[in-house]
Amino acid sequence: MNKIDNKILAKKTTTFLFIVAVFFVGCNKQPGNKNDEQFCSYANVENIDKTIPIINDYLYDLSTGLNIEQHLQELVAWLQTYPCITDAIVFNKTQNMSQIEVLFDESGTTKSLIMDVSMGKPLKVTGYRELKHLLGCNVENPLTDLPWLKEMIDTYKDFRNAKIYMTTYRDGTIFMEIGTFGSADNRFYNCTGEEICTNSSVIRCDPELNIDRENMKPIWDSALLQPCVFDDPLMDLPWLVQWVDDRRRRVEEGWWKYARLYQCTFREGNIDPTIVRTGFLEESNITSGYTLLYCSGGASVCAIRSPGYNCTDENVDVDVENKILIIEIK
């Protein structure tokens, strides 16, 4: 073998050994090699952001064979192994952003922080925040303790079907969705009463706001404030008197063949499932079921169609079987 061949062989051998070394180093590398002492030295208010690069290094090294949901669970389990973390819990998750509540042991005192996690590949921690928004804008009762919200409720109390919901969005602050009878718009406000965005058939809220629509909590409904007391509903409820006149006209003019109205009871699970409410079921020849109407103002709650006679709003449970006929117009 000549000198040139020896050089080529030596070069190939060196390259091979280098590849093998890299392979074994890569195989032996553990995702996010832990240094409990270093990590926990940062587990305090002044230095907490210094844990972010350590966490993101761990996330970067996670197996690519796992999906995003599995990565999030792996992160929670990994955080729980640190002696300075008493617990880590996923409490809010959307397509683009999730939040983990991390309980740090800071010199014997438990400190609760929210860790924001961007749900990309790989996952990435973007920062920490205090847990104020879980307390409802850091007040005991937003409905009574936020002046702007009290004023809004006073404005909407005479509306037939105004509702207020509470949820979270990108910044973690509690905000409310306001829907009023006769309007398809939903307006969103932060804790100070500043309007964040409006959802309508024309305008949509920016997806980057990460509004958690799946966990909206209803906290106020104007329909619950409006009394529905009567001896004879056809005489004592003004809206029902108007309803009878309107349906009689439709039948007389040949638009409808008949119209019937039944009294019934129903529950709204998303408001308070323990409250049994009085309502009315409208039936006519132009529909295959009923329309549930609020007793207090006659606003439509939902449609009830056969077969099954289930409300189109899954949160509403109507007792159709025990309905009572009030009037039939034909």
The confidence score (pLDDT) of residue 2 equals: 52
Rounded to an integer, what distance in angstroms lies between the CA atom of residue 33 and that of residue 58?
7
What residues contact 64, with CB distance under 8 A and at least 6 apart?
none
What residues contact 178, with CB distance under 8 A and at least 6 apart?
152, 156, 162, 163, 164, 186, 187, 188, 189
The confidence score (pLDDT) of residue 150 equals: 85
The confidence score (pLDDT) of residue 21 equals: 40
Report whether 133 contacts 123 (CB < 8 A): no
The confidence score (pLDDT) of residue 174 equals: 58
The confidence score (pLDDT) of residue 125 equals: 93
Ordered DSSP codes for 264-282: EEEEETTTEEEEEEEEEEE
Closest CA to 33 of 9, 15, 60: 60
Rounded to an integer, what distance in angstroms lies between the CA atom of residue 317 and that of residue 309?
10
The confidence score (pLDDT) of residue 227 equals: 63
Reading the block at residue 217, the tokens are 């909590």
The number of beta carbons lying within 10 Å of the beta carbon of residue 133 is 21
Burial class of residue 220 (count of CB atoms within 10 Å of its CB; 0-12, 13-18, 19+): buried
The confidence score (pLDDT) of residue 251 equals: 93
pTM: 0.40
Tell me the average confidence (pLDDT) per consecutive run of 10 residues in the chain, 330 residues long. Answer: 49 45 37 71 86 92 83 91 88 74 84 86 86 58 81 75 77 62 68 82 77 76 70 87 91 92 84 78 86 78 77 83 93
